Amino acid sequence: MVLTPVGIDIAKSVIQVHHIDATTGRTVSKTVKRASFLPYFANRSPCLIGMEACGGA
C-alpha cells in the first residue's frame, strides 16, 4: 500500500491541509475548519500525516 504524505498545520480555529494530488501532480492546499477535520479524513484513503503546530495551537 502506498500512503500519500499529507502535511497539516494546526492553528486555533482552522487547519491547513497540504498534499500532492496523485492524478494531476498538483499541490493541493485546503483550509479545513476544526469541526470538519475528522469528516474530511474519514472520506479519504489511508495517508501518512505530518503535523506542525505553533505554541498557540
- Which single residue is written with the C-alpha cell 503535523? 51
pLDDT at 48: 92
pLDDT tens across 1-57, in order?
688 899 999 888 899 999 998 889 999 999 999 999 999 999 888 899 999 877 665
Among all chains, which residue has been given the C-alpha cell 494530488?
21
Beta carbons of 31 and 12 less than 8 angstroms apart? no
Check if the beta carbon of residue 20 is closer than 8 Å to that of residue 6: no
CA-derived radius of gyration, the chain: 12
Rounded to an integer, what distance in angstroms lies between the CA atom of residue 20 and that of residue 2? 13
Q: Return d(Cα 25, Cα 42) in angstroms, integer.
A: 22
